Amino acid sequence: MNGTDDPLLTAPNLTQQLANFIESTRWIDLPPTIQHEAKRALVNYFAVALAGCSDPDIGKALALFERLHSDGQARVVGRRERVGVLDAASLNAMSANVYDFDDTHIPTIIHPTAPVAAAVFAVAETLQVSGEELLLALALGIEVECRLGMALHPWHYQRGWHITSTCGVFGAAMAVGKLLGLDAPQLAWALGNASAQACGLVETLGSAAKSLSVGNAPRNGVLSALLAQQGFAGPERPLEGERGFLQVMGEQPRYSEVSEALGERWALAANTYKPYPCGVVLNPVIEACLALTKGRHWSLEQIQRIELVGHPLLRERTDRPDIRLGRESQVSAQHAVAVSLSTGKAGLAQFSDTAVADPALRALYSKLVFIDDVSYPVTAAEVRLLLDSGQMLSQRVVAARGSLAAPLSDAELESKLMDLVIYGGSGCDTQPLLDAIWSLDSAKDAGSLMMLAAGE
């Protein structure tokens, strides 16, 4: 191979392309559907953050942050405390992710809004920006993190990198850089600073540490942009360089996913919102189980075997029979099947420590058998129940509720927010918050929305 054939030497300058794109894109450049989707993403973001705001682990992190930095001017969703900008960015992303109820970019399985929204709102409380400016920054940040994820998928996740955390830091950095008005060279530095702080491991799924890495993404993204604003320079090619993010974090990075149709094809168009608080691959499984419970003429004791048919990714991500905590149940097919068949429900209470400790549910775990079928997309699954009478009951879901083929409506997202506010117990008044989100593009001070989210 001669030098000119080396893909590392012929790689496009993706860093510069993204920096130029972020600097030049305006609100009016976004299609109306994408402008609206940015608001939908925020409705879902505040819903899940207001559910998670009272989680004990969020309280532990907040207490530590307050002890380390006792004063601050940024608000925490669903709470009265004030903390520093970096701490607020971290805590609010953690709250939005802690119950695994946040949104999902289907091509990458990135949860895109929490890292970016937490970052832009933390900064918007210290730097007055309009609603249009914040929504634009949100859309652009999501665009960057998802495009980088597309370039790395699926090798990145298979290696054990938690893609929301590793790519989220870049989205947060670009969104905040846009709010700060950084020029292209500064935005490139911000990407370089972010590349030095991109981390998160799949091994942490089912533990509080997973949310910590999601919280680090906006924290480090804000820091990356603020440092770039001060002239803190990063490497020239942090994304596509020989030892840059894409080469180190992926086996065969697809550069075209980052640059192709930039400004024409938008990541938010492939974003989805969960109806159930668990890994997105479990959505069709739960829906099939709920359908089987309707008009039920059988009992749990009659079940001899449960067959779960789906894409191999379903087994790879959710074959977790030995769980002990509610967090672990969010990514356990054994629990999702057992609890939805038993209760006919699949809300936050069904994925709690109490539910996991139920011996009647745990008795079903060992009856589950996975059947891999590559012909199934990740959005589909079939559940088969073999009863002791020999009867086989089955239900197949081709496109689960909340998928791109069956998206949640605006009204369903509003209902989700209202329900999760009650669950989180913050006392936040939902209607003013919803009104503020839907009209955010006409607001002069986007940061003031955090007053409503904090229950003030």
CATH number of the domain bearing residue 171: 1.10.4100.10
**Residue 229, domain extent:** 3-273+409-453
Tell me which of 50-64, 356-370, 408-422 is least confident.
50-64
- Hey, what are 225's tokens? 């942009």
Same domain, 449 and 328: no
The CA-atom distances, in angstroms, between 219 and each of 72, 176, 265, 312 are: 15, 11, 28, 34
The number of distinct structural domains making up the chain is 2
Same domain, 152 and 287: no
| 354-358 mean pLDDT | 96
Contact 192, 235 (CB under 8 A): yes
| 450-454 mean pLDDT | 96
Contact 447, 121 (CB under 8 A): yes
Same domain, 181 and 300: no
Query: pTM of whole model > 0.85?
Result: yes
In a domain, 402, yes or no: no
Of 360, 375, 397, which marks where a domain is finished? 397
Same domain, 251 and 328: no
In a domain, 79, yes or no: yes
In a domain, 329, yes or no: yes
Same domain, 252 and 290: no
In a domain, 403, yes or no: no
Which residue, among 19, 26, 11, has the nearest Cα to 189 in the 3D structure?
Answer: 19
Cα–Cα distance between 198 and 200 in angstroms, integer? 7
Q: Where are the beta strands (DSSP E) in 317-451?
A: 368-372, 381-387, 392-397
**pLDDT value at position 70?**
60
| 106-110 mean pLDDT | 93
Cα–Cα distance between 357 and 321 in angstroms, integer? 13
Task: Look at the block and give the residue holding tokens 């008795």.
Answer: 363
Domain containing 306 — which CATH number?
Answer: 3.30.1330.120
In a domain, 245, yes or no: yes
pLDDT at 376 over 50: yes
Helices (H), 250-390: 256-259, 283-293, 312-318, 326-329, 333-343, 353-356, 359-365
Cα–Cα distance between 10 and 281 in angstroms, integer? 37
Same domain, 199 and 305: no
Same domain, 419 and 293: no
Same domain, 176 and 254: yes
pLDDT digits (tens, 9 = 90+) for 182-197: 999 999 999 999 999 9
Query: In the 8-state DSSP scheme, what is residue 1?
Result: -
pLDDT at 2 over 50: no
The overall average pLDDT reported for the chain is 94
Model confidence band, residue 228 (pLDDT cutoffs 50, 70, 90): very high
| 40-58 mean pLDDT | 95
Same domain, 227 and 298: no
Cα–Cα distance between 339 and 290 in angstroms, integer? 10
In a domain, 404, yes or no: no
Same domain, 48 and 70: yes
Same domain, 260 and 312: no
Contact 120, 138 (CB under 8 A): yes
Same domain, 185 and 258: yes
**pLDDT value at position 4?**
43
pLDDT digits (tens, 9 = 90+) for 321-352: 999 999 999 999 999 999 999 999 999 999 99
In a domain, 431, yes or no: yes
In a domain, 320, yes or no: yes
| 437-444 mean pLDDT | 98
In what helix (H) or strand (E) does residue 43 lie, and over which residues does it extend?
helix 32-52
